[in-house]
Amino acid sequence: MKQYEVVIIGAGAAGLMCAATAARRGRRVALLDNSKKVGKKILMSGGGRCNFTNRIVEPDNYVSANPHFCKSALKRYTQWDFIALVERYQIPYHEREHGQLFCDHSARQILDMLLSECEKAGVSLVTDCEIQTIDYSAGYRLATRQGDYETNSLVVATGGLSIPTMGSSGFGYEIARQFGLKVLPVSAGLVPFTFSDRMKGVTERLSGIALPVAISTGDRTFSEQMLFTHRGLSGPAVLQISNYWQPGDTIRVDLLPGESAHELLGLWKKEHPKGLLKNLLARRLPKKLVVELMSLYWSEWSERTITDMPDQLLKGIADHLNGWLLKPAGTEGYRTAEVTLGGVDTDELSSKTFESKRQPGLFFIGEVMDVTGHLGGFNFQWAWSSGYAAGQYV
């Protein structure tokens, strides 16, 4: 029987941060992972460059049934704390649009930095360690393929369900249920949309085309690039809005963000009375998209000049351009999702320590709980902040 003051399950972003923080405080820490290689999601993140945080992090960048839950941890370990760590390790980085911070060279540098923090603090990292059972009576007893572990503080950092080939598992949710904690329904987040029927053909024919749009659902709008794919729609604007989309919802795509299509068509009618709508639209939108829009909605006007088109019709066209209503058939699911929405209910946890309110010594950190960030480095920041907060306490 191996005894540790803290046992952490899951050596991903949150688990590594928590382990290093707790061990620096002098705690004896074992960090167990069922994979042979740890931090796989860090390595594949940000196209291999790891978007490790964002210059501006607000609670509003997170989706959770309790929008206030994330505030305390985000305040106690901020993006500046993580940036300071990155700078201490002299990892070169750069800022991209919307404040996103990426490594100049490789995500491996972020993983190596965290592993080095763990090693320096004396964390025992055990890989290829499948956990078979967890029992509790006064303390926790874990039976694993690498022997039994005993601890008073058990931290669950097993992440979400996205990218099953990367070792994702629902194990964290099982542990929560075993100890009577509520788990909110989970679904794929930051994920492309799929379409059926006519729109499927449209997106297939337009695949590879990207354009700036503003996409909305409910009271949320994201202004970024949208990409047509063989299966539907992707690109940053689509991934962002997917966190707020429910099956059956319609999304609204403004193809001319920041511009009144009504005024634009009125201007064209005055300045180019003999112009064809399709040619005029192609000044602002990709030509192939214009062809598809014309054939979907305005085919009978394809060869008529804009002067021929009644004002009422032009108003309808303008409304369409500033608010193309689309109904996704679904999402690509966990296969391509960056994150998992939902998870362990934050009402069950202390927002300061991440300890379960009903089960002493049991902690949940990172993506396994019901806190999901926007695209842009916010999910890693949540892993760092929640990992640090629990690490300070365990």
How far, in Å, CA of 22 to CA of 77, rounded?
A: 14
Q: 103, 49 in Cβ contact below 8 A? A: yes
Among 37-45, 68-76, 87-95, 236-244, the segment contacting ligand FDA (CB under 6 A)? 37-45
Q: Is 13 in the site for ligand FDA (CB under 6 A)?
A: yes
**How crowded is residue 228: how many other Cβ atoms within 10 Å of its Cβ?**
24
Q: Is 63 in the site for ligand FDA (CB under 6 A)?
A: no
Q: Is 162 in the site for ligand FDA (CB under 6 A)?
A: yes
Q: Report the residue from 23, 29, 38, 321 that binds ligand FDA according to the rule CB under 6 A.
A: 38
Instruction: Enumerate long-range contacts of 304-313, CB under 8 Å, 24 or more apart.
Output: 304/276, 304/277, 305/273, 305/274, 305/275, 305/276, 306/265, 306/268, 306/269, 306/272, 306/273, 306/275, 306/276, 306/277, 306/280, 307/269, 307/273, 307/274, 309/269, 309/277
Q: Nearer Cβ to ligand FDA, position 195 or 382?
A: 382
Minimal CA–CA distance to 37: which of 108, 120, 117? 108
Q: Is 22 in the site for ligand FDA (CB under 6 A)?
A: no
Q: Nearer Cβ to ligand FDA, position 114 or 317?
A: 114
Q: Report the residue from 62, 149, 171, 222 that binds ligand FDA according to the rule CB under 6 A.
A: 171
Q: Report the residue from 51, 229, 240, 346 that binds ligand FDA according to the rule CB under 6 A.
A: 51
Q: Nearer Cβ to ligand FDA, position 30 or 265?
A: 30
Q: Nearer Cβ to ligand FDA, position 81 or 204?
A: 81
Q: Is 10 in the site for ligand FDA (CB under 6 A)?
A: yes
How far, in Å, CA of 338 to CA of 243, rounded?
A: 11
Question: In this chain, which residue has its C-beta nearest to ligand FDA?
Answer: 12
Q: Report the residue from 169, 223, 225, 353 that binds ligand FDA according to the rule CB under 6 A.
A: 169
Q: Nearer Cβ to ligand FDA, position 73 or 293?
A: 73
Among 23-31, 161-169, 323-331, 349-357, the segment contacting ligand FDA (CB under 6 A)? 161-169
Q: What are the structure tokens assigned to 319, written together?
A: 């409304």
Q: Rounded to the nearest whole angstrom, what is the least distance from the CB of residue 212 to ligand FDA in the complex?
A: 21
Q: Is 30 in the site for ligand FDA (CB under 6 A)?
A: no
Among 132-140, 157-165, 304-312, 327-335, the segment contacting ligand FDA (CB under 6 A)? 157-165
Q: Is 290 in the site for ligand FDA (CB under 6 A)?
A: no
Q: Report the residue from 163, 264, 341, 362 that binds ligand FDA according to the rule CB under 6 A.
A: 163
Q: Report the residue from 21, 45, 229, 240 that binds ligand FDA according to the rule CB under 6 A.
A: 45
Q: Is 62 in the site for ligand FDA (CB under 6 A)?
A: no
Minimal CA–CA distance to 41: which of 120, 332, 33? 33
**How crowded is residue 2: how many other Cβ atoms within 10 Å of its Cβ?**
16
Q: Report the residue from 367, 388, 390, 392 that binds ligand FDA according to the rule CB under 6 A.
A: 367
Residues near ligand FDA (CB under 6 A) are 9-15, 32-35, 38, 41, 44-46, 50-51, 131, 157-159, 162-163, 167, 169, 171, 338-339, 366-368, 377-380, 383
